[in-house]
Structure 1
Amino acid sequence: YWTTARSMAKQNQPWNAWLYYQQAAALLQPVGFVSSSHLEKLQTEASTAAPPVLQKGVSVDQPLVLRATDGTEYRITGFGFDDSSSKEKVDLVVHLKVDTAGDAAATRKRNSEAARTLVLAYPELRSAFHGVWVSSESPGASPFATEEPMENLR
């Protein structure tokens, strides 16, 4: 992931590079208290390549807020990777903060629209990922995850 992130950074794909750097860091640092010169170098590269909106990171306390064309706001609290599908490209995992879980049909629609809004806002994601998994997370409820292949996110 690290070498791919470097390549993406050189190709002026800051979103893809930042996401791949995050995955490389997760693999290089199995627990939070481990540090190394390699990890520090990777973190420096990642912060240099990060898009301005991601300079401070993404978390529950500092979500990435995306606004759909209809005005709906989606609050993304984290990103991850899923490589379990054995596809040529990995899937992007998005953690979405929601106030209430809602019924399954409404949650599925919200997840799909959140994935669509993300890809429309940052189209470079299409080239690096097979699809987007969205995990809606609300207090006191189980996460509700759905997957959308990139070809469905138009």
Structure 2
Amino acid sequence: MMVPASGFAASCTTQAALPPDVRGTLASMGEQLSDAVLRQDTSAMQSVLLPAISGQWDGIRDAIEGAAPLVKGGKAQLRNMYLLDASSLIAPSDTQFFCSNANGSMTVTISMQALPPGKYALILSDAAGAALAGQMGFVLVWDTTGIPGWKLGGFSARQGDFGGHDAVWYWTRARELAQGNLPWAAWYTYETARYLELPVDFVSSPNLDKLVQEQAQIKGGPSQDTFPYSVTSGDRTWKIDGVRLDASLREPDLGVSYESTGSTDPAVLRTEAIAVLGALLKAQPGLRENFHGMWAYASTNGKVTPVMELPMGQIP
């Protein structure tokens, strides 16, 4: 459920428009699930898992356990709830739900891939007060296989800030970098703002749409046509296949994938990686001051190998 898609025969009811009994039921379940993540009570989560996806439990449990540092020290606080009705679908379909407020002035779009007919709910919540400002997303499914009720169909979590800076801060910074003619730094700072905005990738809001539009207007920024991007170190030229935000260390790092010579010697791989990262920073110096560090990913014959992560200060 992570790929934007389009479809028909679907409707969305926003939180404010939900009947009181439905809103109360969803809120209660959202609070219970959020509290279970904060307490790392995987048994409670598994007890409400949709039977049809029991084979996916290991991945969901990993996501719950991975959320522990994100929500540590926080208190569950619901942000938004959406009731999604796709019961009129005749087969699994890529489906969009358009969730508008009462006067139609704002619409949130929820896009799901290969969605089976049925009724669903999306609940977004925050770990208020957590050091990493953890945010959580729960997909619920109305299950009719036994006693009818809501079951857990999916979970994801993401931090809400880096070093105390949230999405709004990074968005403001991205605009400054764009005006300062640092297109690569601006582009990936916009990416950082977008990453921090929501815990899921299948929701689009007017704010996110505006952010994407601003990002697309950057002149000289990286795009699909930019790669492979050639950089030079000494007498060597390296081809970089892609650069992306990498938050695996809970820091705003950049992951750099490049075409390697194919050596399996760790020392050679490290020397190679440092040369590539250093050459990229020389070509795009704005990246050094605006990100924590870089990950090097060596690519050989389609196989990608993580080499190392270095803070910016350790890259020559």
Report if TM-score (shorter chain) is over 0.5: yes
2:243 corresponds to which letter in structure 1? G
Query: Residue in 1 aligned with 2:118?
Result: none
Using the alignment, how far apart are the partners of 2:257 and 2:302 within structure 1? 16
Question: What's the offset of the Cα at 1:123?
Answer: 1.5
Query: Residue in 1 aligned with 2:281?
Result: 119
2:299 corresponds to which letter in structure 1? E
Identity %: 30
Question: What's the offset of the Cα at 1:112?
Answer: 0.6
Give the structure with the larger helix fraction.
1
Please, what TM-score do these two structures have when normalized by structure 1? 0.75
1:98 aligns with 2:255: no
Query: Residue in 1 aligned with 2:307?
Result: 145
Query: Residue in 1 aligned with 2:270?
Result: 108
Q: Per the alignment, do residues 78 and 150 of structure 1 end up closer, same or farther by CA in structure 2, a change over 3 Å counting?
A: closer
Could you tell me whether the CA contact under 8 Å between 2:292 and 2:312 is conserved in 1? yes
- Which stretch of the first structure deviates more once superposed, 7-16 or 105-114? 7-16
- Aligned CA RMSD, in angstroms, stands at 2.8
Higher-Rg member (1/2): 2
Task: Using CA pairs under 8 Å that are at least 6 residues apart, name the structure with larger relative contact order, 1 or 2.
Answer: 1
Query: Residue in 1 aligned with 2:249?
Result: 84
1:68 aligns with 2:233: yes
Where structure 2 has 5 or more consecutive residues not aligned to the other structure, the ranges are 1-169
2:190 corresponds to which letter in structure 1? Y
Query: Residue in 1 aligned with 2:188?
Result: 19
1:151 corresponds to which letter in structure 2? G
Question: What's the offset of the Cα at 1:104?
Answer: 1.4
- Which stretch of the first structure deviates more once superposed, 94-103 or 9-18? 94-103
Give the structure with the larger strand fraction.
2
Question: What's the offset of the Cα at 1:81?
Answer: 3.3
Please, what TM-score do these two structures have when normalized by structure 2? 0.40
Using the alignment, how far apart are the partners of 1:58 and 1:16 within structure 2? 17
Where structure 1 has 5 or more consecutive residues not aligned to the other structure, the ranges are none
Question: How many residue pairs end up in the alignment?
Answer: 146
